Structure 1
Amino acid sequence: MEKTQVSFKKMSLWQVVILGVAYMTPMVVFDTFGIVSGITDGRVPLAYIFALVAMLLTAFSYARFSRQTEKPGSAYTYTAESCGAKAGFFVGWCSLLDYILLPLVNALLAGIYLEAVIPSVPYWMWVTLFAGLVTLINCFRINFLANLSLVFVIAPLLLMVLFIYLVIRGVGEGQGYEHVLTLAPLFNGDSSILPLIAGASILCFSFLGFDAVTTMSHETQDPKRTIPRAVMLTTLAGGIIFLTASWFIQLYFPSNVRFNNPDEALPEIVLYVGGALFQSVFLCAQIMNTFASGLATHASASRLIHIMGKDGIFHRETFGQVHSKLGTPLYAVLLVGLISLTAIALDLATVVSMISFGALIAFTAVNFSVFVKFYVRDQQRHGMKNIFLNLILPFISVGVIMCLWFNLERSALLFGCGWLSVGIVIFLYKKLKKQNIVIGNAY
């Protein structure tokens, strides 16, 4: 490891967007459909519209900050620069929770899928193989990762197009709604709003890719121009994919009554639509999609650890350096790989419930930081445009995210508070250590 940065070819706009979309795992819409359809009474596409609006508001806040600085770090950096280092530390610590758990989720899902395809190989071995391969690829330059992610994103999306074709053929022939051209997936007679908000609170965390791309500023061409555009394009691309897929699934399945297990509806959805062979092919595509997401989430998590290492939150000599030949934060990459291996001993429900806390902390902090930076500190408060952009819109965004807070599961809240408590202990320890060093130097 060397302390100096080495010049490498940096990513273009489309490469950053591909990584952001890969981070989102587009085919997750099939995994969550059964759950959200039950919550919203068959209005999953409308819940996605609610979620997309909420995420676009927050993405706009991220984009505004990324125009102001080339420094990466996502909510951690933006909060620290606006509200101070202490606030930045706690937001970064909470954000780190979902960053390091998402690679673990992908390793866990890959183990489940691969064991279903080849049951003769034990689950723990699949998890080890998946985590090891993802870690190895992440050791190399980010351009290689972005180009590889493109392959693993495009293939499942093409299969999704085939799925839509099969749905169009099946609708009106005794399956789902009578016609393809109907607004029933949005308006089926149920006018209640609270179930839609509850559904959107689950779906919002499918959009985390726009947050992740902001951690890659140092590896991107012209970051002040590229990153803001990538943030908005990633959010829109994810929203379009999710909305389109959920629309056609809802056409075929007006409710979730046909599913034996709504919490894991993907195998049943593709079996009913395309038969056993299509189900097998689709499951292979899902494995590819999980691999793409694993690559992207691993990259983002290691970059955030590297950024926090450079700032001295983690050991600077270990995590704050970039490898001179590979051009990557090698030790941060390896640490994320080790954490991913713990998927061997965890279950999906437990891990997923932990992720939402950190994401909501980050979204709330960034929206509020827009108000602090632009309205309070920079005093951009003259004229209706500034008042709207720097005062009204940030608080609307915070209000929307607060609606999601009210739907946070109790287990996620308790675990998140426990994680925050660990952060407080680390913060107090580092502060005390710093004071002792100052006192020692004085003597």
Structure 2
Amino acid sequence: MEKNTYLKRSLGLWQIVMLGMGWMVPMVVFDTFGIASEASNGLVPLAYMFALVAMLFTAYSYGKMVRAFPSAGSSYTYTQKTMNPHLGFLIGWASLLDYLLIPMVSALLNQIYLTAIFPSVPPWIWIVGYVLIATTINLWGINATANVNTFLIIYQILVIVFFIILGVKELNQGMGDGTLFTSLPFYKPNFQISGVIAAATVLCFSFLGFDAVSNYAEEALNPKKDIPKAVFITAIVGGIIFVVGSYFTQLLFPDVSKFKNPDATAPEISFYVGGKLFQLFFLAASFAGSFASGLASHASVSRLLYVMGRDNVLPKKIFGHLHSRLRTPVYNVILVGVVTLTALLFDLETATEFINFGALIAFTFVNLSVIAHYAVKLKRFKTPKDFFLHIVIPVIGALFVAVLWYNLQLDSFLLGIGWVIIGFIYLLYITKLFKVKLSTLKSSEAGVEKINPDQPENSTVTT
């Protein structure tokens, strides 16, 4: 990294929110509807409300840690600063499993969508084309990524609004429950709370993305104010879209008996509500969602790799390098593109099995970091307010994440543990069996561009 070359501070609040929304993919509400409806016995909106509440506790923890450490790196940075550098490295390494493979999943989904429309075109062309486009946009800069991402999110939201308009028309004509206002999507006599919780654990993964917002901290114009706001806004706006979208879908389809394939309901939902023409626009929005997710995650993981390279826990000349003019981690962006190309060798199920483990590791340790930093280090737990904010809320967040851990598939857990073992072996190598402290490997100049806003009390800025 050249001296005085920093990530460029250029992102406003709503650009950051849109990058988070890009990760979350608003259209996913229709892809998971069949699975969630079966599990919850027709109470998908209620399950989404449970999931939203669960995620808001962890969102709070992200906001607290961004205020304390307004630099990129997310759970990696927070854990190394508040607990232990070695543990921080392992958390960052585990998070890479989530971040690196989201672009791969996006590539596979795009290939599936486009192959369905153009079956005569070799599938590999769509993956290669996607990687070239996404890599080029990310090389150009975070503003280009944010602007393209914003357009794709707006298109998805417009399609969802149009779906609701068509849905209202069909409900008025007697489709489904035949009414616009009913408590049935939220409450049924003798409903099983266990089924709703089971559905909520699946739907929680629809919220992945609000956490990645923290990786843009060094490119935010006002990180201490905008990043915590963006984390909450992303989670809440995404939750509202999911609840409202699933409410109308549940009214139109009270059960899954109408679907030929309950595990992939989006094509049938759009066809039954709006016919073949609307189905094309609807599936195009699903494609836009997948592309936006890949674009945003490509940018985010490049920043995480950059911070780990800047700290010299990954080879600094490669991972800690910034282009002097574009001020983007060009080598990391290209590397993520190359990794995404391995989608040619995987199927969608295999790729998705890796992702949830990394996300849950990050969620768990961000909650614990709040306790370690504010309650243990700063001793801010002696008043009822501080005890509630710095112990009770993050503990509740961690407990919600524990429920997700309990429901994690065994294959995902075993694959994740294998990845962490590889990281531990690498850690042993770079520390010479822990004889060298990670703190001595770090760059003497962190490379975080100074910010103008006043520091809040007890905050830390790396310079």
Same fold (TM over 0.5): yes
CA distance in 1, matches of 2:259, 2:305: 41
**SS of structure 2 residue aligned to 1:139:** helix
Is 1:73–1:215's contact at 8 Å kept on the other side of the alignment?
A: yes
CA drift at 1:433? 7.2
Partner of 2:123: 123
CA drift at 1:123? 0.9
CA distance in 1, matches of 2:9, 2:73: 20
CA distance in 2, matches of 1:102, 1:17: 18
Partner of 1:229: 229
CA drift at 1:241? 1.0
Change (3 A) 1:380 1:434: closer
Partner of 1:405: 405
CA distance in 2, matches of 1:3, 1:342: 34
Partner of 1:265: 265
**SS of structure 2 residue aligned to 1:178:** coil
CA distance in 2, matches of 1:329, 1:409: 34
CA drift at 1:69? 1.9
Partner of 1:68: 68
What runs of 5+ residues in structure 1 fail to find an aligned partner? 439-443
CA distance in 2, matches of 1:102, 1:423: 19
CA distance in 2, matches of 1:189, 1:25: 33
CA drift at 1:188? 2.5
Residue 112 (1) aligns with residue 99 (2): no
CA distance in 1, matches of 2:72, 2:218: 7
Is 1:140–1:327's contact at 8 Å kept on the other side of the alignment?
A: no
CA drift at 1:370? 0.9
Is 2:76–2:92's contact at 8 Å kept on the other side of the alignment?
A: yes
The C-alpha deviation readout for 1:401-434, integer Å capped at 9, x for no partner, is: 1111111111111111111111111111112177
What code does the residue aligned with 1:383 have?
A: T
What code does the residue aligned with 1:295 have?
A: L
CA drift at 1:302? 0.9
- Specify which structure has the higher proportion of helix: 1
**SS of structure 2 residue aligned to 1:210:** coil
The C-alpha deviation readout for 1:354-386, integer Å capped at 9, x for no partner, is: 211111111111111111111111101221101
CA distance in 1, matches of 2:6, 2:378: 34
Overall identity of the aligned pairs, in % = 46
Q: Scaled by the length of structure 1, what TM-score is found?
A: 0.96
What code does the residue aligned with 2:154 have?
A: I
Change (3 A) 1:181 1:225: same
Equivalences for 1:25-424 in 2 at 5 Å? 25-424=25-424
CA distance in 2, matches of 1:346, 1:437: 37
The C-alpha deviation readout for 1:287-334, integer Å capped at 9, x for no partner, is: 122222221111011111111111112110111111112110001001
Say which is worse superposed, 257-266 or 189-198, in terms of deviation: 189-198
CA distance in 1, matches of 2:214, 2:437: 34
Is 2:24–2:206's contact at 8 Å kept on the other side of the alignment?
A: yes
CA distance in 1, matches of 2:434, 2:285: 51
**Aligned pairs, how many?**
438
What is the CA RMSD across the aligned residues, in angstroms?
1.7
CA drift at 1:5? 1.2
What runs of 5+ residues in structure 2 fail to find an aligned partner? 439-463
Q: Give every structure 1 segment of 4 or more consecutive aligned residues whose post-TM-superposition deviation is greater than 2 Å.
A: 1-4, 6-9, 188-191, 433-438
Is 2:298–2:336's contact at 8 Å kept on the other side of the alignment?
A: yes
**SS of structure 2 residue aligned to 1:402:** helix
Change (3 A) 1:88 1:46: same
